Amino acid sequence: MFLCCVNELLLSCGLFTNESSVLSLLSLQNLSTALLRDINLTIGAGECLCLSGASGCGKSTLLRAIADLDPHQGEIFLDEVEHNSVTPQQWRQWVGLLTAESVWWFDTLRPHFPVVEAKWFAALGLGVEVLEWPVSRLSSGERQRLALLRLLCHKPRALLLDEPTANLDSENSERIEALILRYSQEYGAPLLWISHSPEQISRIADRHCRVVDGGLQELRP
């Protein structure tokens, strides 16, 4: 029931509209990092692929490599565009990374948000008055919710999500899940989502891969 209410709020809040959008395909070809080798993976438009594995196995490094933040070999495509053919800034706007620990560049929240809409904040259980708060006042859970909202303001075409609900209680985890999945459906954005929760993976994943011995092993849904 709570998840249904969140979805109704998202549909009415103006963040997601019926206007046409670009459906994107994220593809990795022979991608290797310090911990992983020869990763070949394609995530379709609006598809959620969950990634799991032991701590330190290279999951976060893989996301950072796809965002062109960590050294890597191989090719990364968004549709037919290879990441080296555009500027790093353009690539990171298209392929949005939500890290496990958010970074804030200003003392208060407002300068971080190019667009402000009260219902966006309500969808995450927040009020717009938080924009006047110093970042130092935020709890870890508030930082994580607001970091996601900050990322979505830039309308990325694909999302890389490093445990986006790790610091949240069950209610706020459902809010985040609903927000991300609705965004993916409306904009056709592929999702690569790191999660350690079997229950969450069973709720959100279209596909599930586990990092094993430096490679990816696809598991049955």
Domains in the chain: ranges and CATH: 2-219 (3.40.50.300)
The dihedral region occupied by 56, where left means phi > 0, alpha psi between -120 and 50, and beta the remainder, is left
What is the arrangement of strands in the sheet containing 158-162, beginning at the earlier edge strand? 95-98, 158-162, 191-194, 48-52, 207-212, 215-219
Residue range 165-183: average pLDDT? 93
The gap between the terminal CA atoms of the chain, to the nearest Å, is 24
For tokens 């996301």, what's the residue? 63
Residue 8 has pLDDT above 70, yes or no: no
Residue 118 identity = A
The pLDDT tens digits for 49-82 are 999 999 999 999 999 999 999 999 999 999 999 9
Between helix 170-187 and helix 140-152 the angle, nearest 10°, is 10
Residue 135 has pLDDT above 60, yes or no: yes
User: Which neighbouring-strand residues pair with 219?
Assistant: 208
The DSSP output letter for 84 is G
User: In this predicted structure, which of 2-11, 47-56, 131-140 has the lowest mean pLDDT?
Assistant: 2-11
| Helix H or strand E encompassing 118 | helix 118-123
User: Angle at the Cα of 32 (from 29 to 35), degrees rounded to 5?
Assistant: 145
What is the rounded distance in angstroms from the CA atom of residue 97 to the CA atom of residue 94? Answer: 10
pTM of the model: 0.90
The pLDDT tens digits for 140-172 are 999 999 999 999 988 999 999 999 999 899 999
